[in-house]
Structures are given as structure tokens and as C-alpha cells.
Amino acid sequence: MSSLQPAVAQLFLVRCNSRASVDKIFRLVLSPFIALSAIGFVLSVAAHLAAVAGSPIPFGKAVWALHIGIFVVWLPTILVSYRLTRGASRKDFWKIALIGCPKWMRTALYIVFGYGILNFAFFIATTAGHPQPKGDPPPQVVRGFSGHWMMFYGAAFATLYSASAIGYSGMDRKCPNGHSVGITAKFCEECGAPLEPSFVDR
């Protein structure tokens, strides 16, 4: 395995000799996670609507697969969001992370979050003190959890979409003197050199 690493690294370097090909590979790596987030989001909404209507979940216990799927999409989401928001202040975290998304997507995500928080409050208020159910999850439990799934899959989709739109070269901005700079910066914080237009200005 270890002898394979230099060969793989070399191949990677040869193929990534231009920014365009780096971006191409980056988008290729992200695309299955973006697709999975989209599928997870749609299934979460379907499970949620069924639960709100009070009908039993068509796929029974398989609904918990949505729970597992979150971990699959959340890891790359965390990685790219830290990269995207490097140098940004904490309060601007989502604003910067979602900067590659169209405005409607950001608005939709904020609505999903607002709804998810209300749904969680409703879940706590209606299920507190009830005994642990056996067998298939009852609609009120699926209703509670699916609100969270919608938030996680929605946030994963939007963040990964944003990173894909900005591209690796857009996330890995450097000043003319080689210092790392944030994706929205106009000047280098270390040397003050003016920077080329970022994704945001294009």
C-alpha cells in the first residue's frame, strides 16, 4: 500500500498540471456526494410528508438508512466547508460556505432550517414522556427525525454544490506572493497584494 502512494501521487500531479484539470477532478469527486445529498433530501421530504399525513412509512425500518446516509455526505461537507470558510469570521460561516449557490437555493435552505427547528420543537412537545416504541417507527417519530434529515441533506447539498461551482482553484486562492487567501478577499492579509477577481466578482 505504501509503495503505491508515490505512484498515485505522481499520477495525480501529472494529471493535475493545470487548474482546469484540478477543478475537473474535484467536481468529479464531489458529484456522487451531491447526487446522494439530493436523493437523501427528496426521500426525507417524502418520509416527512407521509409522517405528517399520519400514514405508515412505505419502506418501514429502511427509513433509518436515511440516518446512515447523512454520515456519508456529512464528512465531505465538513471538509469543503472548512476550506471554503478559511479566514472568514464565524458569523459569516454559512454566508461564505454557500457563496457558490444561486440565491434561490440559499433562501430555500434557510426556509428548510426554519421549518426543521419548528418541527423539532413540535416533536419534543408532543413525544416527551412517551414510552420507547417497538417495531416500525411510528409516524410522529419519523416526523421528528425527518425534519433533521431534511436540514442535514439540504445543507450538505447546498455546501457541496457551492464548492463544486467555485471549484478547487477558487477555494485554493493564493496571492501573487503565494500566501493563502480567503475566497472573498480583495487583498492579501499578509502582504497586502491586490488579488485577482474571485468567484464572487465574476
Residue 177 binds Zn ion, judged by CB under 5 A: yes
| Cell triple for 46 | 417524502
d(CA 130, CA 163): 42
Residue 97 binds Zn ion, judged by CB under 5 A: no
Spatial contact of 177 and 75, defined as CB atoms under 8 Å apart? no
Residue 180 binds Zn ion, judged by CB under 5 A: no
CB atoms within 10 A of CB 80: 23
Amino acid at 31: S
Min. distance of Cβ 156 from Zn ion in angstroms? 33
CB atoms within 10 A of CB 2: 5
> Can you state the angle between helices 19-52 and 65-84, rounded to 10 degrees?
140
Min. distance of Cβ 191 from Zn ion in angstroms? 3
| Cell triple for 71 | 454520515
Stretch that binds Zn ion, among 36-44, 138-146, 158-166, 173-181 (CB under 5 A): 173-181
Note the residue count of the chain: 202
Stretch that binds Zn ion, among 39-47, 66-74, 137-145, 182-190 (CB under 5 A): 182-190
Residue 175 binds Zn ion, judged by CB under 5 A: yes
Cβ proximity to Zn ion: between 30 and 175 the closer is: 175
User: Which of the 8 DSSP states describes residue 178?
Assistant: S
Min. distance of Cβ 172 from Zn ion in angstroms? 14
Residue 189 binds Zn ion, judged by CB under 5 A: no
Min. distance of Cβ 100 from Zn ion in angstroms? 23
Binding site for Zn ion (CB under 5 A): 175, 177, 179, 188, 190-191, 193
